[in-house]
Chains A and B, each alone.
Chain A
Amino acid sequence: MKIFLLSIVSVLMLMTSAYAEGHGAADPLTTHQEEDYVSKGMGEMIGNFLASTGIVALVSPDENELSAHGEPMSDFHKGLGRVIMILITFLLFWLAIKKGFEPLLLLPIGFGGLLANIPIAGISGPDGFLGVLYEAGLANQLFPILIFMGVGAMTDFGPLLANPKTALLGGAAQFGIFGTLVGAVALSEYTTLFDFTLKQASAISIIGGADGPTSIFIASALAPELLGAIAVASYSYMAMVPIIQPPIMKALTTDEERKIKMTTLRPVSRLEKLVFPIMVLTLAILVLPEATPLIGAFMFGNFLKVSGVVDRLSDTMENALINIITIFLGLAVGSKLSADQFLVADTLAILALGIIAFSAGTAAGVIMAKIMNKFPGTKINPLIGSAGVSAVPMAARVSNKVGMEYDRSNILLMHAMGPNVAGVIGSAVAAGVLLSIFN
């Protein structure tokens, strides 16, 4: 009996080993055969080559082709949609080069979009270089945080420290975010115009913060499927600040208010500037830890700059590092401009909601300045209220420009920088609140 069992076991072992050997031997053989070049006729080669061209891929798309997310796409998104998207990226190039709209970001985003819409190559797929960049720095929110570091190294909090109460304007302008959030969910609930979830509505309305990195940070955390449209809307509107804001500012102010002169800012000591980043970060740690990735990076950059002892590092952050990250960030955002993700009805809704958010933020900042003027104390020119939406330093320049239209000697630029940098802190706090609600 024992011998019988043993023999069965040994036979089994022999068989498995033989099978394994045979299998192991067969494997390289088959792959070798696959790798073997099979000679084809010239006609067949030309035919195969023609079938692999972009023209054929665009005109009669491969039925089995999947999107970058591995989902099936409609024929429209594989063919004509891609052509339309490529034309849209040309429009972005035109806006960036001819109109000077945020070229630093729109060109990388536009070119990324162009590359993402190439059939067959799969550049924005998981193995394409845009897909790899996306996974490396956008899906995990690394790039926006690094950008914030560079922005911190470029920011001067002096004007804010010299006139702290202007920080309220930067806070009021965040109404653009939350007001639009209510509007977006109300329209989703009561109309059939669009149907956004709370997360999506939050990600869209953060455009009202007028802060590109923050928008991308929130969008990739809450609604990655809308990232492309949100980023494009955010950066396009930031570029259009000089067009969007002045009519709103003029409509909400009287001639008299626009001519208010503000007293010269006091000089701010270096120690104050040095303590400030630590103070803001401490406050954020105590109140809103969710906002500390953004605020922490921002204040790190700023702290190195004002410390004055590591110029090498702060120089790198505000030049080389932020430039490199801008290239990566732009391309990675561009990878989300593929036809199957961008050419959807939601994109139009996002563009519309974005501009509403932007305008509401501008208006809220101006109105806040008017409210503050009702209280005793030094008067504020309401034109600097619009700078409370971040968009540093563009929004502050707009305040200055509109102010000078009414009084050429009224220089508001430095006064407007206060609410401007407070707006950056404000939108980072708003982002932290949104994240804390959903986590």
Chain B
Amino acid sequence: METNLVIEGFKFLILGMGTVLIFLVVLILLMNLQRKIIERFFPEPQGISEAPGATPGTQAKDTKKIVAAISAAIMHHNKA
């Protein structure tokens, strides 16, 4: 029996795009839900930055330096 490949292709298209988009839409809903739950029940303690592995003390110092360096770079960039 001859199957029409093009019709098969369109079936793939609908099934594939449908699955991908539904998967991601559900994921978006879950991400929003997760954010609400986490912000409400498990808020981050203020003032602690989240990069794992670095000790908070040196991090704060470094952050200031980095911010200074970045702002200098932006200033320079916008002037150019």
Name A's B-contacting residues (CB within 8 A).
Answer: 160-161, 164-165, 167-168, 170-172, 174-175, 177-179, 181-182, 184-186, 188-190, 198, 201-202, 267-272, 275-276, 279-280, 283-284, 287-288, 306-308, 311, 408-409, 422, 425-426, 429-430, 433-434, 437
Contact = CB atoms under 8 A, between A and B. Distances in A.
A201 B8 CA distance: 11
Interface residues of B, number: 35
Contacts of A181: 9, 12-13, 16
B1 interface: no
B19 interface: yes
Interface in B13-53: 13, 15-17, 19-28, 30-32, 34-35, 38-39, 42, 44, 50, 52-53
A306 B23 contact: no
Given A198-B8, A267-B50, A287-B19, A178 B24 contact: no
B49 to A, nearest CB: 9
Nearest to A307: B52
Contacts of B53: 308, 311
Nearest to B30: A279
B21 A168 contact: yes
A112 to B, nearest CB: 31
Given A189-B4, A276-B31, A308 B24 contact: no
5 contacts: A167-B28, A167-B31, A186-B5, A198-B12, A426-B24
Contact of A198 (B9, B25, B77): B9
A408 B75 CA distance: 12
B6 interface: yes
A426 B20 CA distance: 6
B17 A185 contact: no
Contacts of A170: 24
A375 to B, nearest CB: 13
A434 B12 contact: yes
A430 B20 contact: yes
A202 B8 CA distance: 11
B44 A189 contact: no
Nearest to A189: B5
Contacts of A172: 21
Contact of A288 (B19, B50, B78): B19
A77 B20 CA distance: 41
Given A171-B20, A171-B24, A276-B31, 12 more contacts: A167-B24, A171-B25, A178-B17, A182-B13, A269-B42, A275-B34, A279-B27, A279-B30, A279-B31, A283-B26, A429-B20, A433-B15
